[in-house]
Amino acid sequence: MNVTSIIAKRYLNIASKHRLFAWVSILSIFGVALGVATMFSAMAIVTGFETTIRDRFLAANAHVLSFDYTNGIQNPQEYEDYLWAKFPYDVHTVSPFVHFESILKSEGVYTGSLVRGIHLEKRKGLTELTKFIQPGLAVEKLHAELTKPFDPSGTRLSPIILGTGLAKKLRASIGSEISIMQPNDRKGFGNNYLFEVVGIYDSGFQYYDSKLALVALNTGQFLLNFKGVVTGFELGLNDTSKAPKIASQINKDRKTQNTAWQTFNKDMFAMIAKDKQVIWMIVSLIALVAGFNILTTLFISVTLRQSDISILRILGLTSRGIVSVFLKQGLFIGVVGSALGVALGWGFCEFVRVTEIIEIPASSYYMKTLPVDYHYSYFFVLPAISIAICLISAYIPARQAARLSLMRGIRNL
């Protein structure tokens, strides 16, 4: 430890003769800690909203949707092979689906619905639906249906999973029987087929939860009269940011419609990104306030230490050494305050995540409790920003100390 570090440590010692300054330094440390904790918590909450909404959105949508709602994809195996061959390093999931509008009936209640037939085994790599479907056994029942032919007689009821809002409209629950009207191009609707409700789907998105009904892929093909045909494919990507580029490439190669997940709710995700920037600016102001506290603290230190500074100059300490003493005080306050702030912010976020103690209106935010999700970069980036602000704040009084008149300090002895 060199001489400037020893002097800086002594000046911060609460047992020194200037105890008031030592207590002010402690308050500055807590100011930095609160600023960093606030930044950490605010960014974790905004990231939590973004991650939760994206995950719930992707539970009902793929990263890229490739489809033909009018005629369907006539040779699905060839189309699937093309997707794997075209994007071998970008795509990790290719799942076929059928999709159509129909009318569901239960206990005399009729309501419109979006019925989607899915291949759960192939779609598993895209989204783990068990997180959004209760009970979990419903997913297994829907998967098992893929190996069974659809029974139009109703002797054996095929399983169906309803969105939570759709189930409420139909007054249906687990074990209820509902009927689906088969779409028919010539007559509008054909026969009615009975299904058993085996699960409830809750993605948190009212649009999907109030309309979506999930059946097995082969069941959907039967209802839509799609023999060996699918409506389209859901693609899961290793890098979701490449979705627009991949959708554009498929558009060039095939006569299908291709949509990236970012375009489905573009305004909502743009709003979240903008809110994230605004919150970042606001919480950055808190860090700046902590920086001003350090500025004030070190100005007080310079005022109190005028005689000491003069003596140090007489003893041979250079101007650079004087600057180093006060910069190290600022660095100490920044490092200790930042470490304490990260610990406080992380502790708060973990407490909120584990206990789910903070509830929010589900109708407005698509979730019932406050979400938190932090990146590990927060543990390094936020303290680095805070320490940088502390050093910048410390430099101004440090330069003033280095320029202090030698005679002025001696007169105060």
pLDDT given at position 143: 86
Asked if 233 and 89 count as a contact pair (C-beta separation under 8 A), the reply is: no
Domain ranges of the chain: 3-57+268-411, 62-262
pLDDT (tens place) for every residue of the chain, 413 residues total: 576 666 666 666 655 555 666 677 777 788 888 888 888 888 888 888 888 877 777 766 788 999 998 888 989 999 999 999 999 999 999 999 999 888 898 888 889 899 999 988 888 777 777 778 888 888 888 888 888 888 888 788 899 999 999 999 999 999 999 999 887 655 555 688 899 999 998 877 777 788 899 999 999 999 888 888 999 999 999 888 899 999 999 999 998 899 998 887 777 777 777 877 787 787 777 777 767 777 777 676 666 666 666 676 666 777 777 778 778 877 888 888 889 999 999 999 999 888 888 887 766 666 778 888 888 888 888 888 888 888 887 777 777 776 766 555 555 55
Phi, psi of 190 (to 5 degrees): -110, -125
How far apart CA 185 and CA 200 sit, in angstroms, is: 30
The model's pTM: 0.67
pLDDT digits (tens, 9 = 90+) for 20-74: 666 777 777 888 888 888 888 888 888 888 888 777 777 667 889 999 988 889 8
- Written as one letter, the residue type at 399 is R
Residue type at position 179: S
